[in-house]
Structure formats: C-alpha cells, structure tokens
Amino acid sequence: MTPSTQPRDHSAMSSKTGGFTLIELMIVVAVLAILAAIAFPSYQEHVRKARRAQAKADLVEYAQAAERFFSVNNTYVGFPLPSTVSPRETGATPRYNLAANLGATTFTLTATRASGPQAGDRCGDLSITNTGRKTATGPASLAECW
C-alpha cells in the first residue's frame, strides 16, 4: 500500500484537541490574583491621596473665607464653618471632619480623618492657621502631605 492509501489512526489525533488544560487556566488565574494583590493597595492609596487633596483644597478655601470675614468684622469669632468637608460625589460620606479654633485675631482650621478607609491615610489630620502655617499629624513628611 502506498502511504496515501494507508488507513489513518484517529485515536492518536483525537487526544490532541485545541483548548486549555486545567493547569494552564489555574496558572492564568494565579497570575491575575498576584497582579490584583499588587495593584489594589496602590489604588487604595491613590484614592486616599485624592480625598486628602480635596480636604486640603477645602481648608485653604475656608481659610480664605475666614480672612474675608476678618477683614469685614475685624475678628474671626463668629466665622461660620461647616462641620465636615463635603464630598464632591453625590451621596458619598464625608472623609474629613472640620473643626475651627477661632480667636479674635487668630484661627486654626483642622481636618480630622473620619473613620473608614481614610483613617489609614499616612498624613494624618491636616491643619492650617491664619498665618498660613500648615501641619500634618501623620508619619509622612509635611512636603508630601501638603
């Protein structure tokens, strides 16, 4: 018989189907899990940093409003300050609580981290005074936080 007329053995070919083995799929899932474990903390830190930036912007805005109040009233006493930094997202919970220490000629505005994910922010609580002095209570450097 010539090679073209010989019967083919289909049992050897049928075991070679095109597809993925369970081991290959498990390797892909493991690689994706490792990538997610690396990326998720970085994402959380980015979100905390964005919320901190919003709190800083609000502190500076309220400090400017306090200065305008002082120029009209010649005192900081009576300056109206909201109790929380309003989140920009509709329906979101505030991430910082505001407090003001108002004197006749001085003030200190403080943004204290609210409980939840923002509590893990490495900059801690932020504050600004009437002289423009900015502080942070966390272990991170002041330049990094402000």
Is 102 within a domain?
yes
The answer to whether residue 13 is domain-embedded is no
How sure is the predictor about 41, in pLDDT bands with cuts at 50, 70 and 90? confident
- 88 domain-assigned: yes
Sheet holding 107-113, edge to edge: 96-102, 107-113, 126-129, 134-136
Q: What is the pLDDT of residues 127-144, one digit of tens each?
A: 999 999 999 998 988 888
Q: How far apart are CA 68 and CA 43, in angstroms?
A: 38
Residue 9 belongs to some domain of the structure? no
Q: What is the domain extent for residue 105?
A: 42-141
- Least confident span in 22-26, 33-37, 71-75, 94-98: 94-98
In a domain, 29, yes or no: no
106, part of any domain = yes
pLDDT of residue 11 exceeding 80: no
Q: Is the pLDDT of residue 1 over 90?
A: no
Q: Quote the tokens at residue 45.
A: 């830190």
Confidence (pTM): 0.71
pLDDT, residue 137, reads: 92
Minimum mean pLDDT among 9-18, 20-29, 117-126: which range?
9-18
Residue 26 lies in a domain: no
If one counts the domains in the chain, the total is: 1
Three-state SS annotation for 1-58: CCCCCCCCCHHHHHCCCCCCCHHHHHHHHHHHHHHHHHHHHHHHHHHHHHHHHHHHHH
Quote the tokens at residue 37.
Answer: 């474990």
Residue 14 lies in a domain: no
Four-residue CA torsion sign, 86, 112, 45, 55? positive
